[in-house]
Amino acid sequence: MVPSWRDQARGNSGSRDDRLTFSCQCHLGEQLQVFFGAWCELVNDDDEMLKFRIVGDEEVYWRKDYISLSSPMAKSCLGKRVDDEIVVHTPLGIKTWYIIKIEYNKDDPAFLMSLPRSRTL
């Protein structure tokens, strides 16, 4: 395979692994969306902050900073981006939060799934 001009400019050989790395670097500047496996930081109007990771039901019991994918908070966050408003219906009433940060562990397959699919390299 002949390396593309992007690969040549970056010094990549054009191999599949190099293209994957380049693709991830290219998209990191774009806003990620919240999906399964995301680390989310939220703030509300009272300056209360939350940080949690959205995981499966079985994983919740191991860490206090994990929330279940089926929880109202996680459902409200899914598909959102930084600066989006999150409205959560709780037993104490409606709570409004704002996403201030989204992160993924780069070794996690959820990270690759969260990348925008609008461009191909």
Tokens 């990771």 identify what position? 53
Q: What is the pLDDT of residue 92?
A: 86
**C-beta separation of 73 from 88 below 8 A:** yes
Give me the tens of pLDDT residue by residue for the chain, a chain 121 residues long. 444 433 443 444 444 443 333 333 334 445 689 999 999 999 999 999 999 999 998 888 878 999 999 999 999 999 999 999 999 988 889 999 999 999 988 766 656 665 566 544 4
Q: What is the pLDDT of residue 61?
A: 85
SS3 string, 8-41, reads HHHCCCCCHHHHHHHHHHHHCCCCCCCCCCCEEE
